[in-house]
Structure 1
Amino acid sequence: MVSAPLSAPDISKDSKERLRLWIRLLRASRTIEAELRERLKKDFDTTLPRFDVMAALYRAPEGMLMSDLSRFLLVSNGNVTGIVDRLVSEGLVTRARRNGDRRTSMVRLTESGTSSFRDMASAHEGWIGELLGGVTEEETRRLAGMLKSFRSNWEGRE
């Protein structure tokens, strides 16, 4: 749970504003994510993690190694494996060993998976447009640029 930071005399005004910004970003993200989860379940009987796996595979029509897929999605191999297993059983994804290597699997969307994902992606884009409808095009560009810059400042740190 996120709560407001406690007052501390040694925290600068800028620091407090950054904490408030973080809380606002977190709340906005969680609110939008919860709505997307609900709509995906209601309209497509699917989950956000399944949508994310299919989206990653859609962007890589030649397929992805399972390890690359989990790294791209920032989740464990075990999480991805369970989702991919279900997608394979439903005929939405294929899995094949790479060059006969039993340790590595390539996964890709099937034609049915691609078609199914396109339908979900179209609805998803509309939902995002609706949920962020109060943000102007200029504000969208500016905020996206700020977040991209912010990400590049800390990305790659360990």
Structure 2
Amino acid sequence: MTAAKDRVRLWLRLLKVVRGIEHELRDKLRREHNTTLPRFDVMSALSRHPEGLKMSKLSGVLRVSNGNVTGIADRLSEEGLVERVAVPGDRRATVLRLTKAGQKEFETQAQAHEDWINGMLSGVSPEDARAMAERLQAFAAAAEAHVEMTKEPAHAQ
């Protein structure tokens, strides 16, 4: 087998595992917490930034468009889970952050998420999990470096 075929096989196996776990997580979040994975992701990002994030920064953290985040933020705000706070000195900018209710709800969801992942990956020893995570981090860094190297330079107009 060629190196290229080995790498394609690796990619397909990674994709299959990730899609399977993601499908299960989406289903559990919907059934057990009446929420979605994108909402969970927004709350997770905000939980790591208690001071809040501007919408553009939140979009960058999540690697999605501002439009995707705005709709989710609107619904979370309507439910009292996030709040918009004006940025002093910048009338157009707002920061999004979890409310106390949002923090409490996210803690509940995050614990369930951790438990689900732990259960789904219970066949992997902690040592193997650490080693695989390190290898995947190196894999991701190499893939990102390759993408950056192959990007065409932007041309000035």
Q: Which moved more, 1:148-157 or 1:20-29?
A: 148-157
RMSD (Å), alpha carbons: 1.2
Find the counterpart in structure 1 of residue 27 from structure 2: 38
Displacement of 1:111 in angstroms is 0.2
TM-score, normalised by the number of residues in structure 2:
0.89
Say whether 1:65 aligns with 2:54. yes
Q: What SS is found at the alignment partner of 1:155?
A: helix
Matches within 5 A, 1:91-130: 91-130=80-119
TM-score in terms of structure 1 length? 0.89
Q: Could you report, residue by residue, the CA deviation over 1:32-87 in whole angstroms, capped at 9, with x for unpaired residues? A: 00000000001100000000000000000010111000011010000000000000
Shift of the alpha carbon at 1:136?
A: 1.2
Q: Which deviations, in whole Å up to 9, do the C-alpha atoms of 1:69-126 show, x marking residues without a partner?
A: 0011010000000000000000000012212423322000000000000000000000
Could you say which residue in structure 1 is the equivalent of 2:67?
A: 78
CA offset at residue 16 of structure 1? 0.6
How far did 1:141 drift? 1.1
Residue 140 of structure 1 corresponds to 129
Unaligned runs of 5+ in 2: 152-157
Report the residue type matching 1:53 in the other structure. V
- The whole-number CA distance in structure 2 between the counterparts of 1:155 and 1:22 is 15
Partner secondary structure for residue 94 of structure 2:
strand
Query: Number of aligned pairs?
Result: 147
Task: State the SS of the aligned residue for 2:124.
Answer: coil
**Which residue does 1:51 correspond to in 2?**
40
Amino acid corresponding to residue 33 of structure 1 in structure 2: E
Matched ranges for 1:21-32 at <5 A: 21-32=10-21
* Percent identity between the two aligned chains: 52
Which residue of 1 is the match for residue 8 of structure 2? 19
Where does residue 88 of structure 1 map in the other structure?
77
CA–CA separation in structure 1 for the residues paired with 2:92 and 2:29? 33
